Chains A and B, each alone.
Chain A
Amino acid sequence: MKMITRNARLIIACLSVMLLSLIFFGAFTWISFGNRWFSSSANTYIKKIQKNIIPGDIYDRNSNLLAHSNKQGVRIYHSDLETRQSMVHALGDSKAYVPYGAESFMSNYLYGMKDSYFDRLSAAFKGLGRKGNDIRLSLDSNLSKYIHTLFPKNQSGAVIVMNYQTGEILALQSYPDFDPENITQSNLMDPMKPFWNRATKWVSAPGSTFKLITYASALQNLQDTKSLRFECSGCLSLGDSNISDAKKAVHGNISLFDALKVSCNISFAQLALRLGDQALHNTAIKFGIGDYYLFSDLVVENSRYPSQNRTPKEIARTGIGQSSLLISPINMCMVASSIANEGVMMEPKLLLQARDSFGHSKFEFEPKVYKQSLSVDDAKFLSNAMKAVVETGTGTAAKVSGLEICGKTGSSEISGQKETNSWFVGFINQEEIPYALCVVVEDSGSGGTVAAPIAGSIFRYLNSHLKQ
C-alpha cells in the first residue's frame, strides 16, 4: 500500500505538470504569435467588428496622412498617386492583398482593441461611434516618393532605408507595386506578383554583399586578418567548375582589404575555404541568418544558410554570396546597419506612436537591440573597408561629395536570368545622418552600375532633407 501511495503521488504530480504545461505552452504561443494570428486575413472577426468600429488613421513620421476612412467607410490613402504606390507594401491595402502590411498587422491598434473598458463605456455613453486608435509610423512619405522616382520602371526589386541607431524604418518598398485605391484585374493577374513584399518576404543569394559577412568571420576567427593577402590569378579551380572575377580581372597579390574594395571573388573564395563552413556559418548566425524572426512590427521571411552538400566548391561559393544562400533585402540592410552601429543590430521597427480618440497614448516607440553581431573594433575596421569600396572601389557611383559613405556592391547570378541581380548595401557614417540602406534591382546588371547610383541619390536626399 505504501508503494501504491508513493507511485500515485508521482503519477498525480506528472499529470499536474502536464496540465500546467498546457498553460505555459498556451501563454507562450499566444504571446509570441497572437498578433500574427489576429492580423491574418483568415480572421473573420475583424470583418465583424469593422461594422461597429471605424479604423483609425495612419500617419507618417512627419504627421502626413497616409490612410483614413471616409464617412462611407471606404479607406482612402495618400492623395498623390506615386506616394501611394511607393508605400503600399509597408502600409498594406484595405482588402489585405498585401498580407501583414501595417493595415493588417497593427489592426489591434487601428480597431481599438487595446482601449480600456472605461474608455469604451464613455464613448458608448456619449453616443460617439467607436473609432480605433490613430497610429504614426516611422516611414517618410516624401523619401518614399523620391525613391520611387529613382527606381527603374518595369523592374522588380526592393529598397529599404533604416535608421541604424534606433532601428526605425524610413522606407520599405517592393517593386513592382500598385495603387491601393485602384486594384485592377491586371494587378491580380500580373505574373510579377505586385502584392508580394520583396523587401521582407523574398529571399535569394545576395552576391558580393555577403562578403561583408565573410570578412567579419575572418576578423572573428583568424589572427592576422588585417594583414591578410591572397593570390588572385583570375581563375580558381574547384573540382568540376571555376570561380573567376567580373570582367575576367586578375588582381595578382592583393590584400584582403583591397579585395573587398574591388570585390575579388577569388580572394574571398580562398578566404571562405580557409575559414571553413562551421566558422562562416557561426558568423552568419550572428547576423541573424537562420533566426526565426518574431519582430513586433513586421513579418520577415527567415534567412537560410545552406545546409546540404557542403563541398569545397559550395563553401567557396557561399563565401562570395552565391550557393544556396537565401537572404532577404531587409536582412542585408540590418547587416549594414549593425556594421554602422558599432556592431549592434537593432530590431527593425515601424510603429512610432498609437493614440486613441481621447488623445491618450496607447504606444510609444522604444528602440530595441536585436543582437550584437560584431565587436566595436571589428565594426570600425569593416566600416573603413566599406568606405574604400565607395571612394575608389566598385561602389563609386554611390559616392556623394561631403559625405562619408560606406557600402558594398553585389551582383548575384541567378540561374534562368540574363543579367545578375544588382545589390548595394551601405550607410552614411555620420551621427547626424544615421541611415543605412539596401537597394536590389533584379535581373538588371552589376551592383556598381544599377543599384549603387540609386543609393547615391538616396544618400544625397537623406543629407539634404533628413539631417538630425
Chain B
Amino acid sequence: MTQFEKRLNIKTLKFSFTSYEMLLFLFYYSAFFLLALKKPSPEAFLWVLGFPLLLAICNMLFRQALHFDPVLISAVNFLSGLGILMISRFDLRLGTGQLFNYISGMILLFLMSHFVKIFRGLKRWSFMLGLLSLGLMALPILFGREINGAKAWINVLGIGFQPSEIVKIFYVIILASLLSEKRYFIAAFFLSLVLGLLLLQKDLGTALIYYAVTVIVLFATSGSVRLLIGAGLGLLVGSYGGYTLFKHVKKRFRIWIDPWADRDGAGYQIVQTLIAIANGGLWGTGLGLGNANVIPEHQTDFIFAVILNEFGVIFGVFVIFLYLIFLFRVLFIVQNAERKFIALLPLAAGSLIAIQAFVIIGGNIKLIPLTGVTLPFVSYGGSSMLSSMGLLGIIQGGLFIQQANLNHDISLYEMGENL
C-alpha cells in the first residue's frame, strides 16, 4: 500500500459521522427549514435537503479521508455555511453563487494544504512569483472600475475578480520565504511596491492588512522592539497621510466619530448597523425576522451585522471565538516547527485572517473606522473565499508537516525498539 493509498484509507473506507457533522447538519437543517417555511419554493426545499448534507459530508470527507484537523475544518465549514445561510436568507441566487465559491474554495483548500510540503524554497520561483503578484495588482489600476472609492476589481470573462485577494496567498509565501532567509530589505522593498500599488488602487483597508502582516512576520524573525515602534509611527504617518490626501478617508473618519450627525447620508450605513445590533439584542430577532437588509453591503462588508441582528450578540461572540481557533492552531504549528519557513508561513497566513476579521468586525461595531475588507469565509465573494481558503490551506499544510514529523519520530522510535 503506497503512502497515498494509506492516506485516503482506500482499503478501509469508514464513513463515520461524529458530533461535528451532527452539529453542522442540525444547525443548517433547522436554519434552511425555517427559511423555507418563511418563503416556500422548490429551490428552498432543495436547499433544506441538500445543503446540510453537503456540508456534513464535506466535513467528514476532509476530516477522515483527507485527515484534516477536525476542529479547524469544522470551524471553516461552519463559517462558510453561515455565510451562505445569511446570503441566501435575502437572496437565494446569491446564495447559490456563494455555494459555488465555497466548493471552489474547498478544492483550493485541499490543494494548498499539500503545497506546503512540496515547497522546498523559493529561489527560482521567487522572482517570477513576485512579478506575477505585482502584475496582477496592477491590472485593476489599468483596467478596473471604481467602486466605493477603490479601484480594486477587474472583470474577467464576466466574473468580477479582486487580484489583491488572490495575491494575499502569493505574498504570504514570498514573505515567509524571504524572511526565513533573513532577507529583510528585499522583503521591505517588495512590501513597499505592493503597498504602492494598493494605494494607487485606493484600497486602503487591504493595504493596512498587508502592512500589518509584514510587520508581524518581521517582528517574529527579528524580535526587535524598535521595529514595532517604527511600524507604529509609520502607521500614524500613513493614517495622517491618508486622511489629508483622500477625501473618502476624511468622510470615513467623520462618520466613525459621529455617524448620527449625518444619519441619512454618509452615516446611514453605520447608524443602521448599530440599530440592527440593538434590534437583535442578546438572542437576535430570529432567523428571517430581522430587517438587516436596509444596511448597504450587507452581503459583503456588513455580513457580521446581519449575523448580530438575526442571531444576537451571544452568537456573535461565538463567531469571534471561531476565528480565535485558527490562531491557536497556528501556535501549535509554530511551537513544533523544525524549519523557520514552516513556522513563519502559517503564522503569516493565520495572522492575516485574524487581522482581517478584526478590521472588518471592528468597523461594523464602530470600534475603528470602516474599511472595505471582507469577513473571511463568511462574506459573499469568490476572490474573498478563495484567498481565505488558500490561507487556511497553508495552516492545514503546516499541521500536516507536524503530523508527518511526529509519525517519523514515532517510526524512528519503533525502529530503535526493534534493534
Q: Do A and B bind each other?
A: yes
Check A22–B367 contact: CB distance below 8 A: yes
- Among the 9-residue stretches B29-37, B196-204, B219-227, B239-247, the one with 4 or more Cβ atoms under 8 Å from chain A is B219-227
> What is the distance, in angstroms, from B369's C-beta to the closest C-beta of chain A?
14
Closest to B316 in A: A26
Q: For A19, what are the chain B residues with a Cβ–Cβ distance below 8 Å?
A: 320, 323-324, 327, 354, 357-358
State whether the Cβ of B340 lies closer than 8 Å to any Cβ in chain A: yes
Interchain CB contact (< 8 A) of A22 among B216, B338, B361: B361
Check A45–B365 contact: CB distance below 8 A: no
Given contacts A4-B334, A6-B223, A29-B366, contact A44 B327 (CB under 8 A): no
A19 to B221, CA, bound (A): 23
Check A22–B320 contact: CB distance below 8 A: yes
Closest to A23 in B: B317
The 5 closest A-B pairs by CB, nearest first: A37-B278, A38-B278, A8-B334, A7-B220, A45-B279
> What is the distance, in angstroms, from A107's C-beta to the closest C-beta of chain B?
11
Number of interface residues of B (CB under 8 A): 50
State whether the Cβ of B391 lies closer than 8 Å to any Cβ in chain A: no
Check A4–B344 contact: CB distance below 8 A: yes
Check A11–B313 contact: CB distance below 8 A: no
Of residues A1, A22, A43, which shows the largest number of chain B Cβ atoms within 10 Å of its Cβ? A22
Check B277–A30 contact: CB distance below 8 A: yes
Given contacts A8-B331, A22-B361, A48-B291, contact A34 B278 (CB under 8 A): yes
Check B330–A12 contact: CB distance below 8 A: yes
CB contact list, B189-234 vs A, under 8 A: 216, 219-221, 223
Q: For B362, what are the chain A residues with a Cβ–Cβ distance below 8 Å?
A: 22, 25
Q: For B278, what are the chain A residues with a Cβ–Cβ distance below 8 Å?
A: 30, 33-35, 37-38, 43
Closest to A38 in B: B278
State whether the Cβ of B272 lies closer than 8 Å to any Cβ in chain A: yes
CB contact list, A224-258 vs B, under 8 A: none
The prevalent SS among residues of A at the interface is: helix
Q: Which residues of B contact A (CB under 8 A)?
A: 216, 219-221, 223, 260, 263-264, 271-272, 274-279, 281, 285, 290-291, 294, 313, 316-317, 320, 323-324, 327-328, 330-331, 334-335, 337-338, 340, 343-344, 347, 350-351, 354-355, 357-358, 361-362, 365-367
Number of interface residues of A (CB under 8 A): 35
CB contact list, A110-169 vs B, under 8 A: 113
Check A27–B355 contact: CB distance below 8 A: no
Interchain CB contact (< 8 A) of A40 among B275, B357, B361: B275
State whether the Cβ of A18 lies closer than 8 Å to any Cβ in chain B: yes
Closest to A36 in B: B278
Check A23–B354 contact: CB distance below 8 A: no
A25 to B313, CA, bound (A): 12
Q: For A189, what are the chain B residues with a Cβ–Cβ distance below 8 Å?
A: none
Q: For A37, what are the chain B residues with a Cβ–Cβ distance below 8 Å?
A: 274-275, 277-278
State whether the Cβ of A5 lies closer than 8 Å to any Cβ in chain B: yes
Check A44–B351 contact: CB distance below 8 A: no
Q: For A20, what are the chain B residues with a Cβ–Cβ distance below 8 Å?
A: 320, 324
5 examples of A-B residue contacts, CB within 8 angstroms: A4-B221, A22-B365, A26-B313, A38-B275, A48-B291
Check A4–B220 contact: CB distance below 8 A: yes
Check B263–A42 contact: CB distance below 8 A: yes
State whether the Cβ of A15 lies closer than 8 Å to any Cβ in chain B: yes
Interchain CB contact (< 8 A) of B272 among A35, A42, A113: A42
State whether the Cβ of A9 lies closer than 8 Å to any Cβ in chain B: yes
Check A5–B223 contact: CB distance below 8 A: no
State whether the Cβ of A16 lies closer than 8 Å to any Cβ in chain B: yes
Of residues B275, B313, B358, which shows the largest number of chain A Cβ atoms within 10 Å of its Cβ? B275
Check B219–A45 contact: CB distance below 8 A: no
A11 to B330, CA, bound (A): 11
Check A12–B327 contact: CB distance below 8 A: yes
Q: For B316, what are the chain A residues with a Cβ–Cβ distance below 8 Å?
A: 26
> What is the distance, in angstroms, from A36's C-beta to the closest C-beta of chain B?
8
Q: For A40, what are the chain B residues with a Cβ–Cβ distance below 8 Å?
A: 260, 263, 271, 275
Closest to A45 in B: B279
A38 to B309, CA, bound (A): 12
Q: For B328, what are the chain A residues with a Cβ–Cβ distance below 8 Å?
A: 12
A29 to B279, CA, bound (A): 14
A30 to B291, CA, bound (A): 18
Q: For A48, what are the chain B residues with a Cβ–Cβ distance below 8 Å?
A: 291
Interchain CB contact (< 8 A) of B335 among A5, A23, A113: A5
Closest to B317 in A: A23
A399 to B327, CA, bound (A): 72
CB contact list, A195-240 vs B, under 8 A: none
Q: A5-B334, A34-B277 are in contact. List 6 more A-B contacts (CB 8 A).
A: A7-B219, A11-B220, A21-B367, A25-B367, A42-B271, A48-B291
Check A11–B216 contact: CB distance below 8 A: yes
Closest to A114 in B: B281
Q: For B361, what are the chain A residues with a Cβ–Cβ distance below 8 Å?
A: 22
Check A22–B358 contact: CB distance below 8 A: yes
Check A3–B358 contact: CB distance below 8 A: no
Given contacts A15-B351, A19-B323, contact A38 B335 (CB under 8 A): no
A381 to B124, CA, bound (A): 88
Q: For B275, what are the chain A residues with a Cβ–Cβ distance below 8 Å?
A: 37-38, 40, 42-43, 45
Closest to B339 in A: A1
A6 to B354, CA, bound (A): 19
> What is the distance, in angstroms, from A191's C-beta to the closest C-beta of chain B?
23
A22 to B360, CA, bound (A): 11
Of residues A3, A8, A44, which shows the largest number of chain B Cβ atoms within 10 Å of its Cβ? A8
Q: For B344, what are the chain A residues with a Cβ–Cβ distance below 8 Å?
A: 4
Check B216–A16 contact: CB distance below 8 A: no
Closest to A18 in B: B358
Interchain CB contact (< 8 A) of A3 among B223, B294, B330, B355: B223
CB contact list, A313-370 vs B, under 8 A: none
Given contacts A22-B358, A22-B361, contact A44 B220 (CB under 8 A): no
Q: For A34, what are the chain B residues with a Cβ–Cβ distance below 8 Å?
A: 277-278, 281
Given contacts A18-B358, A26-B365, contact A43 B317 (CB under 8 A): no
A16 to B324, CA, bound (A): 6
> What is the distance, in angstroms, from A8's C-beta to the closest C-beta of chain B?
4
A22 to B327, CA, bound (A): 16
> What is the distance, in angstroms, from B248's C-beta to the closest C-beta of chain A?
23
Check A12–B291 contact: CB distance below 8 A: no
Of residues B216, B278, B294, B328, which shows the largest number of chain A Cβ atoms within 10 Å of its Cβ? B278
Check B343–A23 contact: CB distance below 8 A: no
A437 to B327, CA, bound (A): 59
Q: For A7, what are the chain B residues with a Cβ–Cβ distance below 8 Å?
A: 219-221, 223
A406 to B324, CA, bound (A): 61
> What is the distance, in angstroms, from A118's C-beta to the closest C-beta of chain B?
13
Closest to B365 in A: A26
Check A27–B313 contact: CB distance below 8 A: yes
Interchain CB contact (< 8 A) of A11 among B219, B320, B358: B219
A20 to B367, CA, bound (A): 12
Q: For A9, what are the chain B residues with a Cβ–Cβ distance below 8 Å?
A: 331, 334-335
A30 to B343, CA, bound (A): 39
Check A4–B367 contact: CB distance below 8 A: no
A18 to B343, CA, bound (A): 22
A1 to B223, CA, bound (A): 11
Check B220–A43 contact: CB distance below 8 A: no
Q: For B281, what are the chain A residues with a Cβ–Cβ distance below 8 Å?
A: 34, 113
A260 to B343, CA, bound (A): 76
Check B313–A30 contact: CB distance below 8 A: yes
A8 to B290, CA, bound (A): 41
Check A38–B279 contact: CB distance below 8 A: yes
Q: For B367, what are the chain A residues with a Cβ–Cβ distance below 8 Å?
A: 21-22, 25-26
> What is the distance, in angstroms, from B144's C-beta to the closest C-beta of chain A?
31
Interchain CB contact (< 8 A) of A44 among B274, B291, B350, B365: B291
A20 to B323, CA, bound (A): 11
A6 to B350, CA, bound (A): 16
A34 to B309, CA, bound (A): 12
Given contacts A7-B219, A38-B279, contact A45 B355 (CB under 8 A): no
Closest to B217 in A: A11
Check B358–A4 contact: CB distance below 8 A: no
Given contacts A4-B344, A19-B324, A26-B365, contact A12 B279 (CB under 8 A): no
